[in-house]
Amino acid sequence: MMFHNRGRWTLLRSSFWLCAVVLACDSAHSATASARKQVRTGLEQHQAGDYAAAAESFAEAQKSLPEEPRVVYDRACALAAAGNREEATDLFQQAAIAREPGLVASSHYNLGCLVAEEARALFGDQPEEADVAAREQGVKLLHQAVMHYRDCLRVDSDHAAARKNLETIRLWIKHMEAVWAQRDREKRRDEMDLLQFLDWIDAEQRTLEAATKALGQIDGSPRQRQAVSRTEDAQRLLADEIDPLQQKLEAALTGDQPADATTAQAVQALNQIAQRAKSAMFRSADELVGRELPSALVAQDEAIDALDEVYRAVAPYEHLLQKATKVEQSLVETTVSIAEDDIDEALVDREAIARDQRYVAGWSESLPARAEQGLAQIEAGSGTHSEIGPPTDEQQKEQQQLQAALKESYEKAIELAPKVTELANGAASDIADEKWDVARPKQEEALKLLQEISPKTPPNENQQDQQGEQNEDKQDQQDNQPDEQQGDEGNQQQDQQRQEKSSEQKQQDLSRQQAEALLSKARQREREYRERQKAQIQAMQGTIQVDRDW
C-alpha cells in the first residue's frame, strides 16, 4: 500500500492519499480439518472480492483456532476490505503482538493504512478547505499512521511500502501546513480592518521579540538552532504582512475618492514608516541566521517602534484613549505586583515595560490634537445628516447625549492629557532605572486621569426597554404581525445604515485632518528614530552576552 499522486503540488488542490490494499496470509497448517476448510473458503471469497463472506469464514475458523494469530490477521484483512475499520483495527492490534516478524510488520503496516484512510475521509477531496478542528484531527491521525509505519520498519527495515508511505505523509503534512497557513493569512487580511490588522502585527512582533530573548536561555546547540530557525521563518512571514498593511493604510486615508496632494503625501509618509518596519523585520531575520541575537533584538525593537508610529498616525481619538487606558491599567498592575513582591522582578521584561510606558505617553500626547478635531466636528455638526431620512426624536436625543459626553471628554483631554504624558514619561524613566516604587504613584495618577478623560455615556433606558420587549414579543410578532415586524426591521436597517454612513463620513474627515498633522511630524520622528537607533545599538553591544556554542 502506498500513496498515489492525484495531481500536482498546487495551493488549490494537492492530494496524496493511501490506497488501502490489504493482503491475506496463508492459514495455519496445524488447524483442524474444519478450520482449514473455513480458511480456504475465506481465502477464495477474499480473492473473489466477497469480503463480508470472507470475514465470516475466518471468524468460524477462529472459533476452532482462537490462539492462531494468522487467522486473526486474515479476518482483520477481510474486515478492513469490507469497510469495518474499527473491528479490523482491534484484530490487527491482536496480530501485531504475535511472534512471527512478518505478521507483526504487516499488522503494523495495515494499521497505518487504516488510520491514514480515516484521515483521508476526514479531509475529503479538498483538504485545503478544512477548518482548524479538522486540520488538527486529520494531522493527528496521520501522525498515528506514521507511528505504525515506523513500528513496521522496526520489525522489517526493508518494507518498501511502509517507508514510502511514511515519507509521503511527512511531505504531505509539510505541504498542507504551508497551504493552510497561507489561506489563514489571506483570510485574516480580508476580515480585519486597519486597526485590527495593525494590532495583530504588533502583537505578533512582540511575541517574536520574546521568543528571541528566550533563545539565549535554551541549552543545547541542536535545540537552539531549531528554535532560531523557527523564529527566523516566522519573522520573515510577518514581514510579508507589511505590504497588505500598506494597502489598508492607503484605503483608509483615501477611501473611494482620488487622494488630494496632502493626503497623497501623508500616505507616502506612512508607507515609508511601514517600510522601515518591514526592513527591520527582515534585518532581524538575517541576524537570526547569523545567530546575532543582540542585533536581532535591536531590529525587532525598531520594528515595534515603527508600528507604533503608524498607529499613532491613524488611530482615532476613542481608540487611542481606550488603548492608553488599557495598557496603563496593565502597567499599574505589573508595578504593584513587583512592589509587593507578588512576582519576581527577575522574571519581568523591564525594557518592554518601560517601552510600553513611553508608548502610553506618546498616545496621550496625541489626544489633545484629536480632541480639537473632534470639537471642531461637533461644532460644525459633522455627521448629523443622512440621505436615508431625518433621525427620530429618540435618535436625536441619543446623538445629543453622545455628543455631550464626547465634548466633555475632548475638553478634558485637552486639559489633562499633557499631564498624563508628563507622568507616563516620568514613570518610564523610573522603570528604566528600576525605581518601581517611584514609578508606581505616577502610573496610578496617569491611569486616574485617563479614566477621567474617558467619555461618560449614559445608558439608553428606552433602548433597553425596547430590546426587552422585542425579545418577549418576538414570536407574537412573527405569527400575528408580520407586516409590522417587517416595518420595524426596515427601520432598524435604516438606523444602522444611517449610523454607518455617519461613522464613515466622520472617519474620512478625521483621516484628512490626521494626514495634515502627520506631515508636520514626519521629519521630526525620523530624526528621533535615527538617534534611538544609534543609542540602542550601542547599548545592546555593550551589555548583552551571546552564547556562541553552536
pLDDT, position 47? 85
- Output the nine-digit C-alpha cell for 292: 546575532
Q: Residue 186 pLDDT more than 80?
A: yes
Length of the chain: 550
Amino acid at 398: E
Distance CA 297, CA 537 (A): 10
- The residue that leads in pLDDT, 117 or 20, is 117
pLDDT (tens digit, 9 = 90+) per residue, 238-271? Answer: 999 999 999 999 988 887 777 788 888 989 999 9
> What domains appear along the chain, each with residue ranges and CATH number?
3-183 (1.25.40.10), 193-314+498-544 (1.20.120)
Higher pLDDT: 29 or 543? It is 29
For residues 516-540, give the mean pLDDT. 47
Q: Tens digits of per-residue pLDDT, 43-73? A: 888 888 888 888 888 888 888 787 788 888 9
Q: For 482-504, what is each residue's pLDDT tens digit?
A: 444 444 445 555 555 544 444 44
* pLDDT, greater one: 549 or 451: 451
Q: Read off the pLDDT band of 217 (50, 70, 90).
A: low
How many other C-beta atoms can be found within 10 angstroms of the C-beta atom of residue 512?
A: 19
**Closest among 440, 451, 199 to 325, alpha carbons compared:** 451
The band of 291, judged by pLDDT with boundaries at 50, 70 and 90, is: confident
SS3 call for 28: coil
Measured CA to CA, the distance from residue 395 to residue 381 in angstroms comes to 15
Residue 115: pLDDT over 60? yes
pLDDT at 427: 96
Look-up of cell digits 480639537: 372
Q: How far apart are CA 387 and CA 366, in angstroms?
A: 33
| Choice between 70 and 463, residue whose per-residue pLDDT is larger | 70
Question: Within 10 A of 397 (CB to CB), how many other CB atoms are there?
Answer: 13
Answer whether residue 512 shows pLDDT above 90.
Answer: no
Q: List, in order, residues 6 or more apart from 36 with CB less than 8 Å away.
A: 27, 61
What is the arithmetic mean of pLDDT over 226-249?
Answer: 94
Mean pLDDT of 231-242: 95
| Percent of the chain at pLDDT exceeding 90 | 48
Q: How many CB atoms lie within 10 A of CB 120?
A: 20
Q: Mean pLDDT in the chain? A: 79
Helices in 216-316 by DSSP H: which ranges? 221-239, 242-254, 261-289, 293-314
Residue 274 has pLDDT above 60, yes or no: yes
What is the distance in angstroms between the CA of the first residue and the CA of the last residue of the chain?
42
3 forms beta bridges with 18
Q: What is the pLDDT of residues 342-391, one digit of tens each?
A: 777 777 889 999 999 999 999 999 999 999 999 998 888 754 444 445 66
What H or E segment, with its residue span, contains residue 4? strand 3-5
Mean pLDDT computed over 213-236: 82
Q: In whole angstroms, what is the distance from residue 47 CA to residue 74 CA?
A: 12
Q: What grid cell was written down for 20? A: 488501502
Report the alpha-carbon distance of residue 198 to residue 18 in Å, rounded: 42
Burial of 286 (0-12, 13-18, 19+ CB in 10 A): middle
Assign 297 a pLDDT band (cuts: 50, 70, 90).
very high
- Per residue in 322-361, is it b (16+ CB within 10 Å) or e — as a string? ebbbebbeebbebbeebeeeeeeeeebeeeebbbbbbbbb
Q: Which of 270-274, 464-468, 538-542 has the lowest mean pLDDT?
A: 538-542
> pLDDT at position 36, please?
78
Range with the poorest average pLDDT among 18-32, 70-84, 374-388, 496-510: 18-32
Q: How confident is the model at residue 90 (pLDDT cuts 50, 70, 90)?
A: very high
Lowest-pLDDT choice from 41-50, 111-120, 232-241, 461-470: 461-470
At 398, the pLDDT band (50, 70, 90 cuts) reads confident
**pLDDT per residue as tens digits for the range 313-355:** 999 999 999 999 999 999 999 999 888 877 777 778 899 999 9
Ordered alpha helix ranges (H), 156-193: 160-191
* Model confidence band, residue 4 (pLDDT cutoffs 50, 70, 90): very low
Whether the pLDDT of residue 25 is over 50: the answer is no
Across the range 13-34, mean pLDDT stands at 42
pLDDT for residue 63: 84
Higher pLDDT, 263 or 508: 263
Block residue for cell numbers 478623560 = 453
CB 193 within 8 A of CB 295: no
As a whole number of angstroms, the distance between CA 26 and CA 8 comes to 39
